[in-house]
Amino acid sequence: MSQPRFDVLGLGNAIVDVIARCDEAFLASHDLAKGSMHLVSQDEAETLYGQMGPGMESSGGSAANTIAGIASLGGSAAFAGKVADDALGGVFAHDIRALGVHFDTAPLDSGAATGRCLVLVTPDGERTMNTFLGAAQELAPADIDTSVVADASMLYLEGYLWDPENAKQAFVAAAKAAQEAGRDVVLTLSDAFCVERYRDEFLDLIKQGTVDLVFANEHEVRSLYQTGDLATAMDHLGGQMREAVITRGAQGASIYKKGSRVDVPAAPVDQVVDLTGAGDLYAAGYLFARARGMSAPDCGKLGALCAAEVISHVGARPQADLKDLARQNGFAI
């Protein structure tokens, strides 16, 4: 087996974020659960957009953010996801390609517009996301280039892909191709409500050994095992998986590897401006370090560093050169 061309291939919903500040009352009056992701129709998205404050548009999408982070660290990365042939689709494609990421999923030429996520950021930095999937839900198995899957050390999948039926099939096809090529399959659970919707299927993926590494935050892992007790839930996931990472915000992260657990603290942040992308960029740092064969604590440390960068400004993509940042923090990359 030759050296794979890509460190990571990401598969996810191709989305442009529209980020705006709001107060707690706005969330309450729109019946939005803070910190979670809601799916909305195009009409609902337009209504909410009309009511929210001025925004800033930035390419997003969970797995796409992770891939952008890996590229910024100097990793070799690819992404598959569906945009439309419209202005926002052009923005998404430009932004990911400008980082050197291999992205050649054909845009949807008619029908839905490029997906967008209305991200509402409260004064505490927490983000509440309202996603109109649009073209993203048309991602289909035919969009999976199995030669690219086979040519990536890791396949990174977001749990959000379970929402659009076509994309779920693409997820399954890609995971199968990765397994056949002997590549690692990585899953992020994405969101506690997403876990609510697809708990049994996610548990099946874990039990059947389809995934080699799972990322989850505290809410997601508790939702997965339907328990309020974090330690129980974490140990459960750590026991079922050969490798699992539970990110815990300011408390750092717990990494389970072959049954043993190591805790890695969060990296310091002067001011938390916007939590959007924190989990995505944690995964970027972790996966890049993992691809370079670093130890679990170093994978966790680089993940924490990348997460700290992205929460110090508005937007889910890194603004600093992450390779420079890593080097300044002692990583010889």
Beta carbon of residue 61, minimum distance to a copy of itself (angstroms, whole number): 13
Residues that bind a copy of itself (CB under 8 A): 20-21, 49-50, 52-59, 68, 86-88, 91, 94-96, 98-99, 270, 273, 313-315, 317, 319, 321
Q: Which is nearer to a copy of itself, 99 or 149 (CB)?
A: 99
CB of 97 to a copy of itself, least distance (A): 9
Min dist CB 56 to a copy of itself, Å, is: 5
Closest to a copy of itself by CB, 58 vs 247, is 58
Residue 83 CB contacts under 8 Å (≥ 6 apart), including other chains: 14, 89, 92, 93, 105, 107, 108, 114, 115, 135, 136
CB of 53 to a copy of itself, least distance (A): 5
Cα(25)–Cα(117) distance, rounded to whole angstroms?
20
Ramachandran angles phi, psi of 217, nearest 5°:
-100, 180
Query: Residue 112 and residue 62: Cα distance in Å, rounded?
Result: 20
The structure tokens listed for 247 are: 């990110």
Q: Tell me 68's DSSP state.
A: H
Give the nearer residue to a copy of itself in terms of CB position, either 72 or 247.
72
Q: Which is nearer to a copy of itself, 30 or 236 (CB)?
A: 30
**Closer CB to a copy of itself, residue 68 or residue 306?**
68
Q: Minimum Å distance from CB 101 to a copy of itself?
A: 10
Select from 185, 188, 166 the least CA-distant residue to 63. 188
Q: How far is the CB of 95 from a copy of itself (least distance, A)?
A: 4
Give the integer Cα–Cα distance in Å for 108 and 82.
7
Q: Which is nearer to a copy of itself, 54 or 111 (CB)?
A: 54
